[in-house]
Amino acid sequence: MISVSSLAKSFGDRTLFTGASFQLNAGERYGLVGANGSGKTTLLRILSGDLAPDDGTVSVAKRLRLGVLRQDQFAYEDQGILEVALQGNPELWNAMVEREALLANAEDSFDADRFTALEDVVRRHDGYSAEARAATILEGLGIPSARHRDPISTLSGGFRLRVLLAQVLASDPDVLLLDEPSNHLDILSIRWLGTALVISHDHRFLDNVVTTILDVDYETVTSYPGSYTAFLEAKGAERERRVADIAAREREIAHHQKFVDRFRAKASKARQAQSKVRMIEKKAEALEELPQSSRRYPAFRLEPRRDSGREVLAVRGVKKAFGDHEVLHGVDLTVVRGDRLAIMGPNGIGKSTLLKILMGRLEADAGTVEWGYETAPGYFAQDHQEELAWRSGTAEQWVWSCCPERDFGYVRGAMGLMLFSGDDGKKSLSALSGGEISRLVFTRLGIERPNVLVLDEPTNHLDLESIEALVEGLRSYTGTLILVSHDRWFVSQLATRVLEIRPDGITDYPGTYDEYVHACGDDHLDVDRVVLRAKKERRRVEGPVRSKPVQWQPGGALPQRTLTKLRRQLAAVTDRIQAAEGRVGEIDVSFCEPDYFVRTPADEVRAREAERSGLEREIADLMAEWERLEGEIGAMEQLDGRGR
């Protein structure tokens, strides 16, 4: 589909990649990985045609359609959701707009030739069914039809990004290019999109979804088949092999050099020594220096200044509402020294609100928060970037302000551990990237040495290397850990206790995240659940899946009574599925109504959320029953040879 040969790109004297050659094949899903600044986004822009390479070629199959997810969600503020989706095919959209304008002014003047040309464009792109296709895509991405005429500005950031994805999909692309779609896109939506190239910093996504890793490192791009975990193993083994090969060649050169040094002055050995010199020169010329990796790992040195008391935190009856919408309904929680507590739950359930209340950044409407004896909590807020962007001063001044008694060398050393070098510390706070601000906050936490770390989405702006290094640092941390994170891999590496906040209550599970998922089966990024939902979608398109044939002797009397009973059961289950799915759709429509959560009483919101959760579980059970019944019926009909 897309073939890349000897691709090169530099900016000034900095080479991003050179001699990069690889191929994107139909049906494969590629994860593009590399350090921040290594050239991932640049490569994506070259593939999409937005940027020219310095050298090399990108060969795209004839008539191949590329779909590029551009995160310019504020470019369509006043436009309707369906209109934005239809703009995925610019030629068709422009023709439809111009055609409508001609018809609107037909009484004054009408250009029949132009109208005919526009009609040809609309027909060629199957424009009369384009609106229905776009509406179907939007509904598939969780945006109900009742909202399709609303302005995109009425949606949250995550749903706006879904509209932009619908815009790309409406163009019916052959290859999809995604630059860090973040957490807003459901893993199932990505898994079944077909051929795709995705930049992502999500370990579990890269392990569960992609089929090939493209690694931007060592000033080139290398392809590794398989998941991200398989890539790490293969790359490490390859690096070790190359290091060992270079070391062996250097030892061989050193061995020959010893011979030359020893016998060069002896006439009887002069000719042989000269021959060795020429051989050494050839081997030295062939010896390639192993390029340095662009990946850099910060050193998270997090050590508590002292131990806390046994009981670290006591939360009793904490409630919080915003207007009429209550997000925390009376939280009770006790944290003891050494806990590694992960607080989980859907977006908007109140996880960050709870952490702000714990840290005194937000006042609870009711309840108490008491920190234990000798506790010294340190806080990583999700909105640190917004907070620091408005502050004056430089990065090093902000860090130094927490330890004015220390000399400047100590501050520079602490910042160096977090990859701040040269003049990086002189950058103004407002000029720092999200990743730099995150590393700066952890620099300060390392200096302050709290014995309780309260972390709210600490991985949001970090690259893969920094996330892996943070995991290692937190594993070595001997204090108490309370964290909120959407990154399931990150949570699975650290948590020894899981607190799940749901609309209908709280579950406190004493165990690791993987044990928690195994116990309750509730993980929207778990691959098994993804496959289960995908099978459900496939059944709608491909028809029922046949189960293993029953033990039935062909030619015998068909048990019509049994078959009739099974068909009645199947019809009843189908009706129940349709009713449940219809009710879920009604609830989703109400949730998407503007100001729904503001004007609806909190008790009613909780009741609807609980009802929806129950319906989802009921649908999953009914689908399993439907598949079993359909399989039995099909097997009996097939064996009887009647093909009914």
DSSP string of 349-380, one letter each residue = SSHHHHHHHHTTSS--SEEEEEE-TT--EEEE
Q: Residue 529 contacts by C-beta under 8 Å, 6 or more apart in sequence?
A: 521, 523
For 164, the enclosing helix (H) or strand (E) is helix 157-170
641: which 2 tokens?
Answer: 């040879």
SS (H, E, C) 412-464: HHHHHHCCCCCCHHHCEHHHCCHHHHHHHHHHHHHHHCCCEEEEECCCCCCCH
Number of C-beta neighbours around residue 437 at 10 A:
20
Distance CA 314, CA 179 (A): 42
Q: Hey, what are 2's tokens?
A: 């897309």
- Three-state DSSP class for residue 528: helix
Query: Could you tell me the pLDDT band of residue 110, with boundaries at 50, 70 and 90?
Result: confident
Structure tokens belonging to residue 628: 């079993």
- Record the tokens describing residue 24, joined without a space: 């994107």
What does the pLDDT read at residue 204? 81
Q: Residue 585 is which amino acid?
A: G
In the β-sheet with 325-336, what is the strand arrangement from edge to edge? 325-336, 311-322, 366-371
Q: Give the per-residue pLDDT at 103.
A: 84
User: Which residue, among 138, 196, 195, has the nearest Cα to 167 in the 3D structure?
Assistant: 138
- The sheet carrying 340-344 orders its strands as 377-380, 452-456, 480-484, 340-344, 497-502, 505-509
Mean pLDDT of 174-198: 68
Neighbouring CB atoms inside 10 A of 284's CB total 12
Average pLDDT, rounded, for the chain: 82
Query: pLDDT at residue 569 above 90?
Result: no
With cut-offs at 50, 70 and 90, classify the pLDDT of residue 523.
low
The per-residue pLDDT for range 329-341, each reduced to its tens digit, is 899 999 999 999 9
- What the block records as the tokens of 214 is 């493209």
- Only one residue has tokens 């594993």, namely 475
Number of H helices, E strands in the chain: 22, 18
Q: Write down the residue that tokens 């020893």 correspond to.
A: 262
In terms of C-beta density within 10 A (0-12 exposed, 13-18 middle, 19 or more buried), how is residue 62 classed? exposed
| Pairing outcome for strands 66-69 and 175-179 | parallel
The CA distance from 219 to 84, in Å, is 38
Residue 91 contacts residue 130 (beta carbons within 8 Å):
no
**Own/partner pairs, 508-514, CB within 8 angstroms, 24+ separation:** 508/333, 513/342, 513/488
Q: What is the pLDDT of residue 473?
A: 96
pLDDT in tens, 231-285: 999 998 988 888 888 888 888 888 888 888 877 777 667 777 778 888 888 888 7
User: Cα(520)–Cα(524) distance, rounded to whole angstroms?
Assistant: 12
Per DSSP, what are the bridge partners of residue 475? none
Are the CB atoms for 406 and 343 separated by under 8 Å?
Answer: no
Map residue 508 onto helix, strand or coil: strand
**564: CB partners within 8 A, 6+ apart:** none
pLDDT for res 530:
37
Q: How many CB atoms lie within 10 A of CB 317?
A: 13
User: d(Cα 626, Cα 580) in Å, to the nearest integer?
Assistant: 14
What's the CA gap between 232 and 206, in Å, rounded? 12
The count of other CB atoms within 10 Å of the CB of residue 154 is 16
Q: In 545-601, where does DSSP find H-type helix?
A: 560-591, 596-599
User: Based on C-alpha coordinates, what's the Rg of the chain?
Assistant: 31
Closest residue by Cα to residue 226 from 214, 241, 238? 214
- What is the pLDDT confidence band of residue 598, given thresholds at 50, 70 and 90? low
Q: Tell which residue, 534, 464, 474, has the closest CA to residue 205.
A: 464
637, two tokens: 């009909």
Window from 11-15, 159-163, 441-445 with minimum mean pLDDT? 159-163
Q: What pTM did the predictor assign?
A: 0.66
Residue 223: strand, helix, or coil: strand
Kind of pairing between the strands at 497-502 and 340-344: parallel
Residue for token pair 């009742």: 146
State the CB neighbour count (10 A cutoff) for residue 235: 18
Predicted confidence (pLDDT) per residue in 235-244, tens digit: 989 888 888 8
Which residue has better confidence, 553 or 55? 55
SS3 345: coil
Question: Rounded to whole angstroms, how far apart are CA atoms 57 and 3?
Answer: 8
Q: Between 334 and 176, where is the model more confident?
A: 334
Residue 254's contacts (CB-CB under 8 Å, 6 or more residues apart) are none
| Non-local CB neighbours of 3 within 8 Å, separated by 6+ positions | 23, 24, 58, 59
Beta carbons within 8 Å of 474's beta carbon, 6+ residues apart: 300, 302, 453, 481, 494
pLDDT of 420 above 60: yes
Q: What is the pLDDT of residue 305?
A: 92
**Each residue of 307-333: pLDDT tens digit?**
999 999 999 999 998 888 888 889 999
Which of 439, 424, 433, 417 has its CA nearest to residue 37?
433
State the pLDDT confidence band at 525, using cuts at 50, 70 and 90: very low
Task: Categorize the per-residue pLDDT at 385 as very low, low, confident or very high, splitting at 50, 70 and 90.
Answer: low
- Residues 118 and 99: beta-carbon distance below 8 Å: yes
482 contacts 341 by C-beta, under 8 angstroms: yes
Which amino acid, one-letter code, is at 82?
L
343's enclosing H/E stretch is: strand 340-344
